[in-house]
């Protein structure tokens, strides 16, 4: 019982967090995130956005940045605009992910293993999709 409550609390705590990958190590984190948010949410007040780089910035490597918008809805707008980023030359190598808990990552990894096993056993047209925010194995039509 305690484990379920702590997992729910952890998910709730992380729901506004947006991880941004593919940013060069020498780039200014705040300015990159500001440009991305202005592209995805044009009327967003940038002062309500917390930004921090994860790990040490290394010039020759790409790093990750954590952005925390003021609301869950703003985070969802950013995730929904993720595909738009790929069409913009400046952001073509940048992608967004949610900050998942350890149990969520373990579940997703187990799903990937199951889908690989099903492909080995002759399964076709399978992919991991989300229904109600929960990843599951689905079949392409």
Please report the domains of the chain, with CATH numbers, ordered by start residue.
2-98 (3.30.70.330), 102-139 (no CATH)
- Does the pLDDT at position 64 exceed 70? yes
Q: What is the pLDDT of residue 124?
A: 84
Rounded to two decimals, what is the model's pTM? 0.70
Q: What is the pLDDT of residue 33?
A: 84
CA dist 4 to 1, 7, 108, 110, 136, Å? 5, 5, 17, 19, 20
Tokens 């949610």 correspond to what residue? 98
């Amino acid at each position: 019982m305690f484990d379920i409550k702590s997992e729910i609390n952890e998910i709730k705590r992380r729901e506004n967090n947006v991880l941004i990958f593919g940013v060069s190590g020498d780039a200014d984190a705040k300015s990159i995130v500001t440009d991305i948010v202005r592209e995805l949410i044009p009327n967003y007040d940038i002062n309500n956005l917390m930004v921090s780089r994860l790990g040490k910035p290394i010039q020759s490597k790409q790093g990750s940045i954590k952005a925390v918008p003021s609301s869950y809805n703003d985070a969802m707008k950013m995730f929904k605009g993720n595909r738009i980023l790929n069409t913009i030359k400046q952001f073509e190598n940048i992608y967004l992910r949610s900050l998942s808990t350890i149990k969520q990552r373990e579940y997703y990894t187990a799903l990937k293993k199951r889908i690989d096993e099903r492909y080995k056993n002759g399964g076709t047209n399978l992919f991991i999709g989300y229904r109600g925010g929960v990843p599951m194995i689905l079949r392409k039509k």
